[in-house]
Amino acid sequence: MAAYVVRHAKAGDREEWEGDDRLRPLTKSGRQQAEALAERLKDEPIDRLLSSPYVRCLQTIEPLAARRKLPIEPRKDLEEGAGGESVIRLMQSFKGQNLVLCTHGDVSEELLERLVEQGVVARTAARNEKGGTWVLYDENGRVTSAKYLPAP
């Protein structure tokens, strides 16, 4: 099975945003990245869409949800500060299903660090750009390989 771990697309500048950071939306280029992500994943086997409840994450996978006619399931365990281990736990909870998990840079960074420590990802290959996707393949609840899809 596979998990597509997406770092949300480009959002407005955190320092310039005056409202609740959870409500900070994607920029125009971020919305274009979201559309391109939907195109990229249109033929992939996907069973569920899980996302941080932050607006920028939801907006990142909304075009994919519309195209695939799948609901987005907001998950607090994908919010900023949730930690990389939360992604692994979700993969184990939904074992046997192909997932898209949209989260934040700190969560995906911690996940990558863990995968580097386990020898699944080479440190030199550990990229984490906004809108980028890590495809994690698991066998028996353990990530065995991964590949990176650069941001569209």
CB 87 within 8 A of CB 111: yes
Name the residue ranges covered by the structural domains of the chain.
2-11+20-135
CB 107 within 8 A of CB 84: yes
Cα 33 to Cα 82: distance, rounded to the nearest angstrom: 24
Residue 81 burial by Cβ neighbours in a 10 Å radius (0-12, 13-18, 19+): exposed
pLDDT single digits (tens) 101-137: 999 999 999 999 999 999 998 877 778 899 999 999 9
Sign (positive or negative) of CA dihedral 118, 123, 129, 135: negative
pTM over 0.85: yes
The fold adopted by the segment(s) 2-11+20-135 is: Rossmann fold (3.40.50)
Distance of CA 63 to the CA centre of its chain: 14
